[in-house]
Amino acid sequence: MVGKIFVTLIVLLAIAVGVLAVYLPRDQVVQLVVFREFFDVSLPILAFGALIKYLCCCGKKCGSCGSMNCTNKECKK
């Protein structure tokens, strides 16, 4: 549930920034460029971390539900 709310907020933020980029005067759009520079630096770092997590993660899945981190007692049999 929290994940869906987070994704919704990110999408709404992206739409708001896009609308601001279209309607703001040129001198105020420069302030939006700071967001782009932030993501230019942070996204490769996050991608590298996700790659390491994927490579180091155990690939064993639960037999009945298909989840990797299952806590269901029936799956542990």
pLDDT digits (tens, 9 = 90+) for 18-57: 888 888 888 877 777 777 777 788 888 888 988 888 888 7
The pLDDT value recorded for residue 66 is: 56
Tokens of 11: 């999408």
What are phi and psi for residue 52, nearest 5 degrees?
-60, -45
Q: What's the CA gap between 52 and 56, in Å, rounded?
A: 6
- What residues contact residue 65 under an 8 Å CB cut-off, 6+ apart? 72, 75
Determine if the pTM surpasses 0.75.
Answer: no
The pLDDT value recorded for residue 69 is: 60
The CA distances from residue 4 to 1, 8, 13, 66, in Å, are 5, 6, 14, 21
Closest CA to 64 of 49, 76, 48, 52: 76
